[in-house]
Copies of this chain bind each other. A is one copy, B any other.
Amino acid sequence: MPEKIKVYHLEDYKIMREGVKFLLSKDDEIEMVGGSKTADEVYSYLDKNKVDVLILDIYLDGLDVKTVDGFEVCSTVHKKYPDVKVIAHSVYDDADRVARIMNAGAVGFVSKKSGYEELVHAIKVAYTGKKYICIETSKKLKNLNEFLEGMVDTLRSENEFFSNREKEVLELLAKGYSSKDIAKELFITERTVETHRKNMVEKAKVKNTVELVAYASSRGFIKS
């Protein structure tokens, strides 16, 4: 099967992250690789991992100290990680904000009033390098469609983070399984399981399995 579109979600409301994560994961072509509520977490994730599409909540009022501005995040991501397509996801769908966010480098705009199919659609369109504005909003802003003009296609490379087998091991680790338990479950030897653990610890640059699971959990690698 072809590689899935790797999607990261920046949004300060946890329940929204949780919901979107599930809804988008229903689509076979999409893989939710992470989600967080601060821009810094996004940057540090993007430094190490490949992400195709970033869903960005424009207004992050932020629990953290400094107030983060969604437009700024968008243009920073656009400059620093040009391969990442940004889709703005917002409750505000007025002309001014849509224009600003598209100028800041977003390739898509989806109102939160729209359902998840709109978001799925926007992601797929963005992935092909085109721009998209959700039906709801574009109806409202039909004079603004000049903004939807061609953009340069970007390159892509980088590698996957955890392999499928590693992810299987990871999930069982998070359930409290020992290497021996996992070996039985997956019909491989304990040694192999240990190798997978070791490799993941190295990849994630963490000290041990406990931190690995904390790391993976906070980035949404572990289902539950």
Within 8 A of B (CB), among A169-201: 173-178
Q: Which residues of B contact A18 (CB under 8 A)?
A: 19, 23, 115-116
Of B23, B113, B176, which is within 8 A of A19 by CB?
A: B23
A218 adjacent to chain B (CB < 8 Å): yes
Q: Which residues of B contact A115 (CB under 8 A)?
A: 14-15, 18
Q: Which residues of B contact A209 (CB under 8 A)?
A: 210
Of B15, B206, B217, B224, which is within 8 A of A112 by CB?
A: B15
**How far is B119's CA from A126's CA once the two chains are assembled, in angstroms?**
33
Please determine whether A218 and B224 come into contact, CB atoms closer than 8 angstroms: yes
**How far is B204's CA from A176's CA once the two chains are assembled, in angstroms?**
12
Please determine whether B22 and A23 come into contact, CB atoms closer than 8 angstroms: yes
Q: A22 to chain B: closest CB distance in Å? A: 5
Chain A's interface size range is: 35 or more
A9-46 contact mask (Cβ, 8 Å, vs B): 1 or 0: 00011111011101100000000000000000000000
A91 adjacent to chain B (CB < 8 Å): yes
**How far is B173's CA from A217's CA once the two chains are assembled, in angstroms?**
14
**How far is B19's CA from A20's CA once the two chains are assembled, in angstroms?**
6
Q: Which residues of B contact A210 (CB under 8 A)?
A: 173-174, 176, 209-210, 213
**How far is B16's CA from A112's CA once the two chains are assembled, in angstroms?**
8
Q: Which residues of B contact A113 (CB under 8 A)?
A: 12-14, 63
A66 adjacent to chain B (CB < 8 Å): no
A68 adjacent to chain B (CB < 8 Å): no
A5 adjacent to chain B (CB < 8 Å): no
**How far is B218's CA from A14's CA once the two chains are assembled, in angstroms?**
11
Which residues from chain A sit less than 8 Å from chain B, CB to CB?
A: 12-16, 18-20, 22-23, 63, 91, 112-116, 119, 173-178, 206-211, 213-214, 217-218, 220, 222, 224
